[in-house]
Amino acid sequence: MDLQLKDKVAVITGGSVGIGLAVAYALAAEGANLVLCARNRKRLFQVTEDIQQQFPVNAKAIQADVSKPEDIESLVRQINGQYQGIDILINNAGVGSNETIMNAADEKWQYYWDLHVMAAVRLSRALVPLMKNNGGGVILNNSSICAKQPLYYEPIYNTTKAALSMFSKCLAHEVIGENIRVNTVNPGLIMTPDWRKTAAELAEKEGITADEYLDRLAKKYTPIGRFATPEELAKFFVFLCSPAASYSVGSTYYVDGGWLNVVN
């Protein structure tokens, strides 16, 4: 199926590893041009170069911490300098947390609010005009199953991802008249390097291997009994980016191996 993404321009936050990088590869394979951002410059520039070498697309790396308004301003300035219009924005940058509500300081709440919510607000506000220049576009917000079904060790993550989902719904309503489709994806367990690192640490304490730890986790939480690969999830993102998903507006899609325990 031709997903009609050739020559589109996609901006992906947190595009240097994990889900964001898998989406970048999958979009490049469809012929889309990329703007990738992340904080770690070395890793970001390396993966961007790799993509550029493998696909006949234009891939640009811009170092930015999207929790900071000044970095977003600089990112947007550079995008404006290169493109008169863009087509796709994927608000993906994010990170898990670990705290109790009783012990977490305001600063931690503020950081996650800026990273998970305000980054999407600020980037959408700045880039919607560039989508209008191209006659429309797609914004995908990468939230989490935890926006609906919390993991109780990370209340700040759960709360800020829930807010991102509501922001996404409201934005969808506001911009569909401009032919801009906004949707949310709620992944479940996706096997990224960070999961492997965490598992290695926790498994050691329990005297098991990282693989055993991850397998146990997947079987405990998901009816499917395994993690997804980032590439599996990326296919879903690419579909939602494409005109094949033209009637999908303001929805939240779970890609979670059946983990969500309610009818949504």
| Chain residues that interact with ligand NDP, rule: CB under 6 A | 13-20, 37-40, 43, 64-67, 92-95, 115, 142, 144, 187, 189-190, 192-194
Residue number, 19 or 180, with CB nearest to ligand NDP:
19
Residue number, 46 or 246, with CB nearest to ligand NDP:
46
What is the smallest separation between the CB atom of 162 and ligand NDP, expressed in angstroms?
12
Is 157 among the residues known to form the active site? yes
Residue 161: CB partners within 8 Å, gap ≥ 6?
94, 116, 143, 144, 146, 147
Q: H or E stretch including 88?
A: strand 88-91
Active-site hit among 25, 83, 112, 157 = 157
Residue number, 141 or 242, with CB nearest to ligand NDP:
141
Given a contact cutoff of 8 angstroms between Cβ atoms, the answer to whether 170 and 183 are in contact is no
What is the smallest separation between the CB atom of 179 and ligand NDP, expressed in angstroms?
26
DSSP label at residue 177:
G
Nearest to 229 by CA among 179, 184, 185, 192: 192
DSSP conformation letters of 103-115: T--HHHHHHHIII
CA distances (Å), 118 to each of 39, 94, 100, in order? 17, 12, 22
What is the smallest separation between the CB atom of 51 and ligand NDP, expressed in angstroms?
13
Structure tokens at 29: 């394979």
Residue number, 94 or 155, with CB nearest to ligand NDP:
94
- Write out the catalytic residue numbers: 157
